Structure 1
Amino acid sequence: MDRLKYCNELNRETFLYGMGYQVISFAYDDVEQRPELCVTLLRLALSRYQILDAPRDRLLIAEKEIMRLVVRQAGVIRPKEVADYFTLDPKTVRMMLKNLCEKGWLTPIRRGIGVKNVEYKLARDVLYYWD
């Protein structure tokens, strides 16, 4: 894309924004080679407008915010990141992450001996139920 085409694209998006539309852009390479990323980003953008049933339970407000943070972090998060972001006690964070695992939203990632959950990732297909 040359400078003129890029300028026209920016003007088109600004015009649509002025008309009340929101534009979501994806690169062709991402759609072709990383469609799961595009689906994740699209579901994140649309999540404020959709109301769908959760896999097992509806999420509490705090849990929803943790899930939004996990999605923003590309689907993997450490308890310390959650504690720092929300200024919460690490014990409270571990309890909330454990609850999200029990509800089927997250999956723990164990490292080393397997005693400690050091990271959590989005459970498989969880974004199909995201609200």
Structure 2
Amino acid sequence: MGFAEEHHKWLEYHKNRRSGERLDRLERGHRHGEQMFVERVWWPVFGHMDDLHPEFEVNDWRGRPYFVDFVWKPGQVKFAFEIKGYGPHVQNTDRTRYRQELNRETYLQISGYRVVAVPYDDLESAPELTISLLKSLLAPCLLKKSEGQERPYTRLESDILRLAARWNGFIRPVDLVNELGVNPRTVKKQMNALCEKGKFRPVPAPGSNRVCRYEYIHSFMEDELW
């Protein structure tokens, strides 16, 4: 399936899950610049739009809703992409609005997002530059294991790592037993191995030496979660 069909399907997926202002903002906000970014940059790099959210609603430092052009959330990593044209962002005569925009970007960084400004003009005239910069920035997420290269984790260990990344970095043995359908002894063996590999830290129950959960030690340089 080509880009046009995938883009339409992706957009309809998000529209069907929104209503009110969130839906209206998606219909109004995903315009020419945003569509160019998806078609000329994102699609050539990834070949899909998984985990990419258009006109994503967040709160600013005042608790007011704000819509980011794109948010990419694969696991624990969060990127915020803003398409910026010269007129609205540089020649903006509304100084209050301009200050608020800068403060929002700072607050996004505080909230754990890596903010990326994408020049609108480059999308029109030099998308290959944006592609090159984006690949360098996202390289840890794009690396692929070469065929025949030994993977650092078994399939079950990789499943556990993916679950921990989705569940805010903490995981209980009972969660793994229920989610993966394996017995408690297998879970304990796998978690001990992952602790030895530096991927988890055991967290004992208060006032006890009994491990009640494990803290996932995230590394942005790992590609097996993506």
TM range (shorter): 0.5 to 0.7
Number of the residue aligned with 1:71: 165
Is 1:100 aligned to residue 177 of structure 2? no
Secondary structure, in 3 states, of the residue corresponding to 2:142?
coil
Amino acid at match of 2:110: Q
- Please state how far the C-alpha of 1:34 moved relative to its aligned partner: 2.1
Which 5+ residue runs of structure 2 have no aligned equivalent? 1-20, 44-48, 53-69, 72-79, 81-103, 115-137, 146-150
Normalised to the residue count of structure 2, the TM-score between the two structures is 0.42
Q: How do residues 1-131 of structure 1 correspond to structure 2 at under 5 angstroms?
A: 5-10=25-30, 21=43, 22=49, 23=52, 24-25=70-71, 26=80, 28=105, 31-35=108-112, 38=113, 49-51=142-144, 58-123=152-217, 126-131=218-223
Tell me, in whole angstroms, the C-alpha distance in 1 between the residues paired with 2:214 and 2:155. 19
Q: Provide, for residues 11-36 of structure 1, a one-character-per-residue CA deviation record: whole Å limited to 9, x for no partner.
A: 6667766777234513857632222x
Q: Provide, for residues 57-86 of structure 1, a one-character-per-residue CA deviation record: whole Å limited to 9, x for no partner.
A: 811111111100000001011111111111
Number of the residue aligned with 1:42: none
Tell me, in whole angstroms, the C-alpha distance in 2 between the residues paired with 1:30 and 1:86. 37
**If each structure's strand is expressed as a fraction of its own residues, which one has the higher value?**
2
Secondary structure, in 3 states, of the residue corresponding to 1:129?
coil
Structure 1 residues 71 and 129, CA gap change in structure 2 (3 angstroms): same
User: Residues 173 and 184 of structure 2 are in contact (CA less than 8 Å); yes or no, is this contact kept in structure 1?
Assistant: yes
Amino acid at match of 2:173: P
User: Residues 141 and 222 of structure 2 are in contact (CA less than 8 Å); yes or no, is this contact kept in structure 1?
Assistant: no
Structure 1 residues 89 and 2, CA gap change in structure 2 (3 angstroms): closer
Where relative contact order (Cα < 8 A, 6+ residues apart) is larger, the structure is: 1
Q: Greater Rg, structure 1 or structure 2? A: 2
**If each structure's helix is expressed as a fraction of its own residues, which one has the higher value?**
1
- Please state how far the C-alpha of 1:115 moved relative to its aligned partner: 2.0
Structure 1 residues 14 and 31, CA gap change in structure 2 (3 angstroms): same
Secondary structure, in 3 states, of the residue corresponding to 1:100?
helix
Amino acid at match of 1:110: P
Which 5+ residue runs of structure 1 have no aligned equivalent? 40-44
User: Residues 173 and 213 of structure 2 are in contact (CA less than 8 Å); yes or no, is this contact kept in structure 1?
Assistant: yes
The ranges of structure 1 where at least 4 consecutive aligned residues each deviate by more than 4 angstroms after the TM superposition are: 1-5, 10-20, 27-30, 45-48
Count of matched residue pairs: 118
